[in-house]
């Protein structure tokens, strides 16, 4: 078993068009590093230095990881991680 990671349209150029990819790791950070081996550049679109980029939402199963532990959120086999582009904007 592995961890399924669901990829939004805008980032599928990093996954050869795949809607979902699989990876492993004990934390979200490890998972993203693991994914980056096969899908170079993907991590950089999600993480800026030590933090998730504000342009994306990352969910572990049904929860926004910002309300869990961010990049340090523990993950395990059988989990599903979903990435969505944040929809936001404003006046400036």
Q: Is 5 or 34 the residue whose CB approaches other proteins more closely?
A: 5
- 47-48 and 20-23 beta bridge pairing: unpaired
Of 1, 9, 16, 50, the residue at the interface with other proteins (CB under 8 A) is 9
Instruction: Spell out, one character per residue from 19 to 58, where the chain touches other proteins: x when CB under 8 A holds, - when not.
Output: ------------------------------------x-x-
CA dist 49 to 4, 26, 34, 67, 76, Å? 24, 19, 16, 19, 23
User: How far apart are alpha carbons 20 and 26 in whole angstroms?
Assistant: 19
Q: Report the interface residues with other proteins, using CB under 8 A.
A: 8-10, 55, 57, 59, 62-64, 66, 82, 84-92
């Amino acid at each position: 078993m592995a961890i399924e990671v669901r990829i939004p349209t805008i980032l599928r150029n990093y996954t050869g068009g795949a809607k979902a990819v699989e990876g492993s790791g004990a934390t979200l950070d490890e998972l993203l590093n693991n994914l980056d081996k096969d899908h170079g550049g993907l991590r950089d679109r999600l993480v800026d230095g030590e933090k998730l980029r504000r342009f994306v939402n990352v969910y572990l199963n049904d929860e926004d990881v910002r309300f869990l532990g961010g990049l340090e959120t523990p993950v395990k086999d059988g989990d599903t991680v979903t990435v969505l582009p944040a929809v936001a904007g404003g006046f400036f």
